[in-house]
Chain A
Amino acid sequence: MKISGLSKTIHGKHILSDINFSIETGSIIGVTGRNGAGKTTLLRTMTGILDPTKGDVTIDGYSIFKKPQTKEQVIFVPDSSEAFKNYSTKEILTLYKNIYSKFDEEYFYGLMDRFSLPFVKKTGAYSKGMKALFSLIIAFSTGAKYILLDEPTDGLDVIVKKQVLQILVEEVAAKDVSIIISSHRLDELEFMANKIIMIKDGKVDSLYEIEEMKEMYKKVQLVFKEAMPQNLKKEVTILDQTGRVYTVIMDRNDPKLQHMIEETDPLLFEELPLLLEDIFVAKLGGVSNVS
């Protein structure tokens, strides 16, 4: 799946601007960004729900907009299952079987059984957790290669969340599928994603393998005799400051910066474990700048 030059303008506002990346099967990709960054719009455009203002989404070289049949390889799981609340479990099964030619019914029944999901007359009666699991079971049973999930664990309790994450990781390992997850939950993305796409102001701010990302930055704690020198403040991203104690993110591969810090003779200069959340804060806005 290739996303080329994707732009989307809504009400005169540029929601997405020139997005480019490609997705190979067998991977989990996390799409993250601040509220209103354009994550959901990106997923909805990638499935042909929205028409792009510019650019294209192709699968095996075919545009999903010009050849919608290619969308049999893509399935979008929104954060709400409102569309089917009046359908019974069997009716949804019938619907999907008739849409996706590769729908694996046996596999569907297997997962329903494994997660002890009952067959109900109205899926609106499922609890929030059951709905989330059911949506995933349906999505994986379609045989689609690309599964796009919008905030799949939002509002779920810990037990269901574990089950959801478990099924995601297992399915990618077992089948040659790719999962694209839009999420705020950086800890979850860190746990399962291979690649992270950070969206900022409708643009891809960064696209890295998680490990590669961690090799680029380091998180350190610095304590100075007095306040941090002004010239140093410009070179690092301050995550937190308590008195003269600073927690910062800095470029791991910049010997000049390392040398600059050492020259200030800090009382403490210690590396801390780096989390995805730290990079998110550093790249997509300071801690005080909450949207």
Chain B
Amino acid sequence: MFHKALWYQNYKQTRMIIWIILALFIIHMPFQSVLSLETWKEREEQANQAEGYVYEVQKWDVLQIFSQGTLPVFLSFSIIALACLLIGLERNTRRNDFTFSLPFSRKDLFLAKWLYGVSAIFFFHIINFFTAFFIIYQSDYSTALYLVSWIEIFWGPLLGFIMFFTFALLIGTFTGEMISQVGLTFLLGFLPQGVFALIQSFTEVHFRYIFSLPDWINYLTPFNYVFNQSGEILSVVLPLIFTGLFLWLSTYLYEKNKIEHNGEFLIFKVLNPVFLTGITISISLAGGMIVSALAPWSADALRIIAYWIGFTTFLLFALLIGRRIVTMNIQFYGKP
């Protein structure tokens, strides 16, 4: 996994997204910390003009700089793109033939990709975190840093991004090309919360019964670790466990890859029925949820009818999509 050539090749095929990720990290932490200091100063000055009003930096303000807000969303999208350029795009082009013909084991090929991405995330995060931390630390608002824990601003996001990158790579080890890798990363990234929302909508429409969201569903949702830092010790332990688990599974699957199925929806055909059934049911339930929401809230019978109209319509769409998915083959050959 430390073969110089593999690192060189990985960098060459992801150069642009790596620089985008670095730029996002810079905007997210150091740049935002500078802007936030100015904002806080301005708010304080305004507060000073109003009698009896004192401005204090809130915990939420600090979390925006380090682990919350819109930028982690963009970062997570960029991390998905990085994973897709490392695995998915290789499958769409002939680059996978070149990689697999090299005198390196598939385990080394995969671990080089993983370590390359993890190193980029790790170093970008650390450098930008400490720059932002130092900017606030040397300012008049250094006490704001006491409002947050290291888990919330450092370990949580770092381990969350690394876990999420490993998750996106794992999806790439069993999907046949880039679009399915992106699609399934989003779908499975939200799966536990998504399935919960669909079931909740079903029971709510039919029985007027609403479950409360159990914590374990949040813990099982990969996207949760990128967008939401709770500060609990579990925010450190669980990403570490999931990273280990995903890494082991993805290395195993990459070693067993049948790249003759590159360009198709999934590499392992045995998974096709499982995914197609899951996708069909999810799309149908989502259809029910969407259409029932259009009916008046108080009209119970109408909502149930609307639910099943939505369910059936989307079921038909899902079946049509499913048929296309089974026969799809997306490969770019380019000019010979």
The judgment on whether A and B are partners is yes
Complex CA–CA separation, A230 to B104 (angstroms): 59
Question: Contact between B104 and A68 (Cβ–Cβ < 8 Å)?
Answer: yes
Chain B contacts for A94, CB-based, 8 A: 8
Complex CA–CA separation, A68 to B106 (angstroms): 9
- Residue of A at shortest CB range from B257? A51
Question: Contact between B101 and A76 (Cβ–Cβ < 8 Å)?
Answer: yes
**Residues 10-36 of A at the B interface (beta carbon under 8 Å):** 10
Question: Contact between A49 and B12 (Cβ–Cβ < 8 Å)?
Answer: no
B177 CB to nearest A CB, Å: 15
Known: A44-B97, A78-B94, A98-B3. A51 touches B103 (CB 8 A): no
Residue B332 interfacial (CB < 8 Å): yes
Option from B5, B101, B336 in Cβ contact (under 8 Å) with A95: B5
B27 CB to nearest A CB, Å: 27
Residue B146 interfacial (CB < 8 Å): no
Residue B98 interfacial (CB < 8 Å): yes
Complex CA–CA separation, A91 to B102 (angstroms): 17
Known: A49-B97, A98-B4. A82 touches B103 (CB 8 A): no
Complex interface bits, B86-100 against A, C-beta within 8 A gives 1, otherwise 0: 000000011111101
Chain A contacts for B94, CB-based, 8 A: 78, 80, 82-83
Question: Contact between B97 and A98 (Cβ–Cβ < 8 Å)?
Answer: no
Residue B199 interfacial (CB < 8 Å): no
Complex interface bits, A123-134 against B, C-beta within 8 A gives 1, otherwise 0: 010001001000
Known: A91-B12, A128-B336, A154-B336. A99 touches B103 (CB 8 A): yes
Chain B contacts for A99, CB-based, 8 A: 3, 5, 102-103
A135 CB to nearest B CB, Å: 11
Q: Count of chain B residues with Cβ under 8 Å from any Cβ of A?
A: 27
- Residue of A at shortest CB range from B260? A10
**Residues 64-121 of A at the B interface (beta carbon under 8 Å):** 68-72, 74-76, 78-87, 91, 94-96, 98-100
Known: A50-B259, A83-B97, A95-B9. A68 touches B336 (CB 8 A): no
Question: Contact between B101 and A82 (Cβ–Cβ < 8 Å)?
Answer: no
Complex CA–CA separation, A217 to B260 (angstroms): 38
Chain B contacts for A155, CB-based, 8 A: 336
Complex CA–CA separation, A10 to B336 (angstroms): 24
Complex CA–CA separation, A124 to B105 (angstroms): 28
Complex CA–CA separation, A131 to B336 (angstroms): 9
Residue A285 interfacial (CB < 8 Å): no
Most buried by A among B3, B93, B260, B332: B260
- Residue of B at shortest CB range from A15? B260
Known: A87-B12, A98-B4. A79 touches B97 (CB 8 A): no
Residue A5 interfacial (CB < 8 Å): no
A267 CB to nearest B CB, Å: 49
A77 CB to nearest B CB, Å: 10
Option from A50, A78, A82, A91 in Cβ contact (under 8 Å) with B260: A50
- Residue of B at shortest CB range from A85? B334
Option from A10, A80, A91, A95 in Cβ contact (under 8 Å) with B334: A80
A180 CB to nearest B CB, Å: 13
Most buried by B among A44, A83, A85, A98: A83
Residue B323 interfacial (CB < 8 Å): no
Chain A contacts for B259, CB-based, 8 A: 49-50
Residue A7 interfacial (CB < 8 Å): no
Complex CA–CA separation, A84 to B96 (angstroms): 12
Residue B206 interfacial (CB < 8 Å): no
15 cross-chain CB contacts under 8 A? A41-B260, A49-B96, A49-B97, A68-B105, A78-B94, A80-B333, A82-B333, A83-B98, A86-B12, A87-B12, A91-B12, A98-B5, A98-B8, A128-B336, A155-B336
